[in-house]
């Protein structure tokens, strides 16, 4: 029983990988969705009812709120999926993908807040996981919302000379700010942490704005892939 959580996490990871693979072909895409959903179920069960290295069932705090949120999310998702027209499916997928990015960013924010004074002694690997989730989640959320706006006709293309060069500068600025934040946060300075969020949001805008609407499904997949890996 000590390793039930690890087994559930492994099954969840396999479900995501196999599900994404199956969704790459039209004839297996529907089953791929179900496989990925089963993977998510395993991961949620592992988080809510088991604890690493301990025997028996350990129910997390606020399980009622979590169950209520899952219920509301399931109902909203089901209604949206039932009512959406097939031609509007790509924009709904981009919206859902953006919500996944937002979740990743919020988890990193909450984890950072939870660490509190322990930030000063945080291992570099743990910091990297938190800050990567924050950056990837923010970029994915903002980029996916722009993609949704383009697919729905609410936003147009936006380009300016040297934009690719500016994007590279933005990536370097995000990496540099994240590195400076590691030492600054240990001293109670949160300026660089919030600056990382702002820079990541701006990069998400600049990354997606110049891309045409016909290429949005590719962009959505690109934005989704690092979230799955994280």
Q: How far apart are CA 111 and CA 201, in angstroms?
A: 19
Split at pLDDT 50, 70, 90, the class of 114 is: confident
What are the φ/ψ torsions at residue 9 (nearest 5 degrees)?
A: -65, -40
Give the model's confidence band at 73: pLDDT under 50 very low, under 70 low, under 90 confident, else very high.
confident
Q: Give helix then strand counts, H and E, for the chain.
A: 8, 0
Q: Per-residue confidence at 28, pLDDT binned at 50, 70, 90?
A: confident
- How would residue 58 be classed by pLDDT, with cut points 50, 70 and 90? confident
Q: How does pLDDT run across 140-192, given as a tens digit for each residue?
A: 899 888 888 888 777 777 777 877 888 889 889 998 888 888 777 666 667 88
Distance, C-alpha 79 to centroid of its chain: 22
What's the start-to-end Cα distance of the chain, in Å?
26
Give the per-residue SS3 of 8-42: HHHHHHHHHHHHHHHCCCCCCHHHHHHHHHHHHHH
Rounded CA-CA distance 185/195 in Å is 12
Domain boundaries, the chain: 1-83, 86-230
- Alpha helices, DSSP H, located in 50-157: 63-83, 89-115, 124-151
Task: Return the DSSP state at 185.
Answer: H
Q: Which residue has the higher pLDDT, 125 or 186?
A: 125
């Amino acid at each position: 029983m000590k390793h039930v959580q690890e087994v559930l996490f492994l099954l969840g990871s396999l479900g995501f990988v196999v599900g994404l693979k199956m969704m790459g072909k039209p004839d297996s895409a529907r089953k791929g969705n179900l496989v990925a959903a089963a993977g998510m179920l395993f991961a949620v069960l592992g988080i809510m009812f088991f604890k690493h290295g301990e025997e028996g069932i350990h129910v997390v705090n606020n399980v009622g709120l979590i169950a209520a949120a899952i219920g509301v999310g399931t109902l909203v998702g089901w209604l949206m999926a039932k009512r959406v027209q097939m031609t509007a499916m790509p924009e709904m997928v981009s919206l859902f993908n953006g919500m996944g990015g937002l979740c990743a960013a919020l988890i990193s924010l909450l984890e950072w807040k939870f660490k509190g004074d322990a930030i000063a002694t945080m291992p570099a690997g743990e910091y990297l996981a938190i800050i990567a989730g924050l950056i990837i989640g923010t970029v994915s959320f903002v980029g996916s919302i722009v993609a949704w706006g383009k697919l729905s006709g609410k936003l147009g293309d936006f380009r300016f000379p040297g934009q690719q060069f500016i994007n590279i500068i933005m990536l370097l600025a995000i990496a540099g700010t994240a590195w400076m934040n590691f030492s600054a946060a240990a001293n109670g300075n949160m300026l660089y942490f919030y600056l990382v969020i702002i820079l990541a949001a701006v990069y998400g805008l600049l990354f997606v704005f110049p891309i045409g609407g016909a290429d949005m499904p590719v962009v959505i997949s690109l934005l989704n892939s690092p979230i799955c890996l994280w």
